[in-house]
Each structure stands twice: as C-alpha cells, then as structure tokens.
Amino acid sequence: MGLPRERCLEVGVENLTIKELLAILLRTGTKKQSVLELSEEVINHFKTLFDLKEASIEELQLISGVGKVKAMEIQAAIELGYRIAKSNQIKLGQVVSSHALGHELIDEMKDWRQEHLIVIYLNTKNQMIKKEVIFKGTLNQSIAHPREIYRVAVKCAAARFILAHNHPSGNPNVSQQDVDFTKRIIECGKIMGIELLDHLVIGDIRYLSMREEGIID
C-alpha cells in the first residue's frame, strides 16, 4: 500500500479508507510511528466516528503524537464536513421525496443510540412545513400513539406526512411491530383525512421505505 497522498492521486479520495483520510490530515507521524499507525491509534481511541466528531481538542491531545495543531486540524475538517452535509438538508418549503429524505436521515440518525420517531409534515405540494421528533422509545410503547402525530398535523394544517424512525442496531429491516404501528396510523389517517405517504426505517448505512416494500399501498 502506498502513502495516503499517493493513493489519493492514484485512486481518488472517495476510495480511501478512513485511516488513510485521517493520515492525510495528520500529515506526519512520530519518531516511533508512521502517519498511518498514528491515524489508526486515533481511530481506535474512540468507540465510533461519532465519538471522534464529539471529541474536544483536549481529548484529542491525550493521544500520543497528536498536538494542539493536529487536534485543531482534525476538528476543523470534521466540522467542515458536518456543515457541508447540513447545508444539503431538506429545508422548510422544499419538496420532499422519500429518497432524499432517507439519505438525509441516515446522516442525522445513524449514531442515535435510542429509537426516535420523526414526522415530516407536508402541504398539498409535498413541501415540508414542519419536522418534529414525536417521541423517543419503541413503537410498541403506549407513548407511540397516533393522537400526537395527528394533533401536530392538524395544528400545522398538514395535508400528508412521512414517518421515519431509526433502528439503533443499524439494521433497517422492518419488524412486525413497525408494520402494526404503521397500519394503525394509516387507519387513523383515513378518519382524519390526512394521508401517510411513507414510513422510513433508518439504519446506519441504508434505509427502508415501506411504500417501496409494498407495506403502504
């Protein structure tokens, strides 16, 4: 394997490993470690990449070979990536599709350690008028009640909405509880005259659309 910068020129930045990307940021190693070894130590110091994102400059400096400048450069690169991703998020008034929403919510929810139910409320043109976390928990709990979903829908005059919840396991496969809850919401929607367009289940690298799976007609 060549040096990270050489590999970047040869295969493109999108084909580099996380270790190689971080090594490019670090630039140099130490007397005892190559830059790739130092990069690996930084990655192994944290349980997840999200923990690395949340690390302070002081925490990064606890790693041998990472001084204040390297710590700041790591933080700056992570923050830049975060802001770029955030700038591409669906905004109020923007037309929403399940595909765009699914990929946005993967970035937002993949590291959440507790299940959350999010509702995206839309007008008649499928433009987002409100996005709200309705509850935290699991869909079989009594707190996961359609009443709150439709209360907010009526309050913001939504014509339809999309549900999304994450699976902290990272696996977006639909459970029977997910299906039962969704069908319950659909039945309530028929009474209220407010349509459920889709229910997205969010994993750590992919999402599942109940409409695409044929669970929602």
Domain ranges of the chain: 4-87, 98-209
pLDDT level of residue 136 (50, 70, 90 thresholds)? confident
Other beta carbons within 10 Å of 68: 11
pLDDT at position 71, please? Answer: 96
Query: Rounded mean pLDDT of 180-200?
Result: 94
pLDDT at position 70, please? Answer: 97
- The pTM score is 0.62
- The token pair at 60 is 């990064």
Residue 141 pLDDT more than 60? no
Instruction: In the chain, count H helices and then E strands.
Output: 9, 5
98-209 homologous superfamily = Cytidine Deaminase, domain 2 (3.40.140.10)
Residue 91 pLDDT more than 80? no
pLDDT at position 94, please? Answer: 76
C-alpha span between 205 and 210 (Å, rounded): 17
Residue 27 pLDDT more than 70? yes
pLDDT at position 142, please? Answer: 43
pLDDT at position 95, please? Answer: 75
Nearest alpha-carbon partner for 206 in 115, 105, 113, 138:
105
Query: Rounded mean pLDDT of 43-72?
Result: 94
The CATH T-level fold of domain 4-87 is: DNA polymerase; domain 1 (1.10.150)
List 214's β-bridge partners, or say none.
Answer: none
pLDDT digits (tens, 9 = 90+) for 151-167: 999 999 999 999 999 99
pLDDT at position 92, please? Answer: 74
